[in-house]
Amino acid sequence: MKQKLINFKQSGLHRFILKHQKYAPILFFIGGFIFDTLTLGRIDRLYDLVVLCLHMTSLSITLFLYNLSDDGAWKNTFLDRFKDYFPLAIQFFFGGLSSAYVIYFSRSVSLSKTASFFVILVALFLANEFLKKRISNKYLQFSIYFFISFTFFTFMIPVFVKAMNPTIFLISGAISLTCTLLLITFIYAKSPSTREEIKLGKLLSIILAIYVTINGFYYFKLIPPVPLALQVGIVAHDVTTTKDAYLVTYERQEDLIFWRDYNSKFIHQPNEPVYVFSSVFAPTALQKSIIHRWKWYNESINEWVTVDNISYNITGGRNNGYRGYTYKNNIKPGLWSVEVLTEEELLLGVIDFEIITDSNLTPQRLTQHKF
């Protein structure tokens, strides 16, 4: 057994990691990101669910193993040969989970209200590399673990129960809080070095502060409504339906403006209705109502005025999203904004455009697209 341990420690991989230990954590972190980018697709796909659950479970186990290794708990066991890899494994799973959240949230985030929470996720993703020298700090370990755990359960539970509402969010937070406290309690009881390094009251205060902060973000509707995601949002001149498709006629944007399909300058003809088409992805069998909130900018009072709230229902499972549209007649010229919301008024996206009423102008780049 001893000879095998010596041979392992003298292996090429172990020597390489020791020689390049300055760069090893970031390589493992990048590895986690690349792995998720290449493999993850739909949040409700069995493969994605298995990968994310394995990441979360493995992270929990590795944190336990790593914290007890400081006390020599694995000395003269087969785990002793792997103790140098525990920090790298933690880095890999942190990278894998945070990058998965960035990938999924980037599909759902609106570059308005919910951008703040997305920025936090991106910051966590990027900061992971800078945390490699502080990964032994137990306050930092458990704080990041709880944030990642909370986000994990807000993804998973709506997919499994096929429902999404404030109660489900509160349940997700309670489960993540319970799991984190159980892990901390177990490690604290088993590890003398942990008891020496941390003050349990201080750590619990940090965890509860994170818990309250995330719930505050949800209360003020600053968290994207993942796993829902707005895939298409277009202001259109006409929308017709066939047996299995929506035919949307709209004015294409110039090629240089790649982030938006439609021309935001809507040339409006007399008595013409204005359509807004949206396609929202939802996991299989998850049913929600989607609201189009039509808002017009009143220049006389310099405020956005809500003109109408029009809703339609969606049922999840379609790769390209569940489609629907609303429209308005007798529309005023000026700046318009249609917010795509869930029934809890969580923001999926915003479709901005300007109505220009001029009988001398006609749309120049009309196209019809099948969705």
Instruction: Walk along the chain (371 residues) and give the pLDDT tens digit of each residue.
Output: 444 444 444 455 556 555 555 555 566 656 666 776 667 767 778 888 898 999 999 999 999 999 999 888 898 898 888 888 888 888 888 878 877 777 776 665 454 555 566 566 666 656 655 555 556 678 888 988 999 999 899 989 998 888 888 999 999 999 999 999 999 999 999 999 999 988 999 999 999 999 999 999 888 887 778 778 788 889 999 999 888 889 999 998 876 665 677 889 999 988 899 999 998 888 877 778 899 999 999 999 999 999 999 998 876 656 667 888 999 998 999 999 999 998 888 888 889 999 998 878 888 888 999 98
Q: What are phi and psi of 201, to 5 degrees?
A: -65, -40
Task: Provide the CA 272 distance to its chain's centre, in angstroms.
Answer: 38
pLDDT for the residue 83: 85
* CA 370 – CA 241 distance, rounded (Å): 10
> Backbone phi, then psi, for 289, in 5-degree steps?
-100, 135
**Per-residue confidence (pLDDT) for residue 310, from 0 to 100:** 95
pLDDT number for residue 256: 63
Domains along the chain with CATH numbers: 2-219 (no CATH), 229-370 (2.60.40.1930)
- C-alpha distances (whole Å) from 298 to each of 242, 267, 276, 304, 369 are 37, 19, 20, 6, 32
**Angle at which helices 138-161 and 86-108 cross, to 10°:** 50
According to the model, what pLDDT value does residue 305 have? 96
Question: Cα torsion at 4, 1, 57, 84 (round to 10°)?
Answer: -50
Q: Which SS3 state, helix, strand or coil, does residue 275 take?
A: strand
**Phi then psi dihedrals of residue 13, to 5 deg:** -65, -45
pTM of this structure: 0.77
How far apart (Å, rounded) are the C-alpha atoms in residues 291 and 80? 56
Residue 153's pLDDT is 94
Report CA-CA distances (Å) from 283 to 99, 232, 249: 20, 16, 28
